[in-house]
Structure 1
Amino acid sequence: MVRSACIEQLLSRKAEDLIVIDLRQTADFVDYFIICTGTSDVHVRALADAVTEGLKAEGQHPYQVEGYDVRKWILIDFFDIVVHIFQKESRQFYGLERLWRDAPIERIEDDVLDNLIRDP
């Protein structure tokens, strides 16, 4: 539920290059990383707001939010799922996809939003 809701919120706000890294077999501290890119400081903050507000409306509150004021990389921790919202340069620099390349990575396309809305 949290995973789908995060993806839905990010897609509804036009997140770019959205992926889900399945870490259930790779890490013991998290199940999934959801990673996306925002086009500007304002867009990164809007994506973070959409995720936190959208999930709070469903009774899911983040354990921790980091980087909100800087807006180059915002991390939203829901325990089993961690959402990483980057500006393009920061995403390339930190390279989480490279770091966790042994884990399955699912690319989420824009048309997935229609399926999420139809099949909650």
Structure 2
Amino acid sequence: MDSKQLMQVAAKASDDKRAEDIVVLDMNSVSLVADYFIICHASNERQVQAIARNIKEEAEANGMDVQRLEGFEHARWILVDLDDVVCHVFHEDERHYYNLERLWGDAPTYSFEEIDREREQMER
């Protein structure tokens, strides 16, 4: 599975647990840290944990290793490191405060709807 397919799996896993405002940043031309950042949020800690847990489970079900899972206990900002794809699952308040989209403003940005549409076309 390449990094784009992994990003699609993780984005879908986020959506399956009702993550809000899922955004994908294409980091290929901006950073060596990862190929993609996925950023999303939820309005309470339990839902933040459910989203992160589902990303982890779906990645593992697709044969990918989770490198790190940080912040799970407090569930204000959980980082799910899938190596080439890094998922940032925020509590709504923290997402607005840290505003990673602005910090990495040079990266091309895609909505979940765009990513999901492309994934569906590839499956046909």
Instruction: Please report the TM-score for the alignment, with normalisation by the length of structure 2.
Output: 0.87
**Equivalent residue in structure 2 for 1:50, among 51, 54, 58:** 54
**Equivalent residue in structure 2 for 1:75, among 68, 79, 82:** 79
Write the mapping of 1:108-119 to structure 2, written as runs, cut at 5 A.
Answer: 108-109=112-113, 112=116, 116=120, 119=123
1:22 aligns with 26
In the TM superposition, residue 110 of structure 1 has moved relative to its aligned partner by: 9.2
Question: Are the aligned partners of 2:21 and 2:40 in contact in 1 as well (CA < 8 Å)?
Answer: yes
Question: Are the aligned partners of 2:8 and 2:116 in contact in 1 as well (CA < 8 Å)?
Answer: no
- Which range moves more in the overlay, 104-113 or 62-71? 104-113
| Cα distance change on mapping 1:70 and 1:117 into 2, 3 Å | farther
Structure 2 unaligned spans of 5+: none
Q: Percent identity?
A: 32
In the TM superposition, residue 109 of structure 1 has moved relative to its aligned partner by: 2.8
In the TM superposition, residue 72 of structure 1 has moved relative to its aligned partner by: 0.3
Superposition RMSD in Å:
2.1
Matched to 1:58, the amino acid is N
1:39 aligns with 43
* 2:16 is equivalent to residue 12 of structure 1: yes
2:92 aligns with 88
Question: Are the aligned partners of 2:25 and 2:38 in contact in 1 as well (CA < 8 Å)?
Answer: yes
| Cα distance change on mapping 1:116 and 1:11 into 2, 3 Å | farther
**Equivalent residue in structure 1 for 2:7, among 3, 16, 19:** 3
1:102 aligns with 106
Structure 1 unaligned spans of 5+: none
In the TM superposition, residue 116 of structure 1 has moved relative to its aligned partner by: 3.9
Instruction: Please report the TM-score for the alignment, with normalisation by the length of structure 1.
Output: 0.90
CA deviation profile, 1:8-55 (whole Å, cap 9, x unmatched): 111111110000001100101211100001121010000011000111
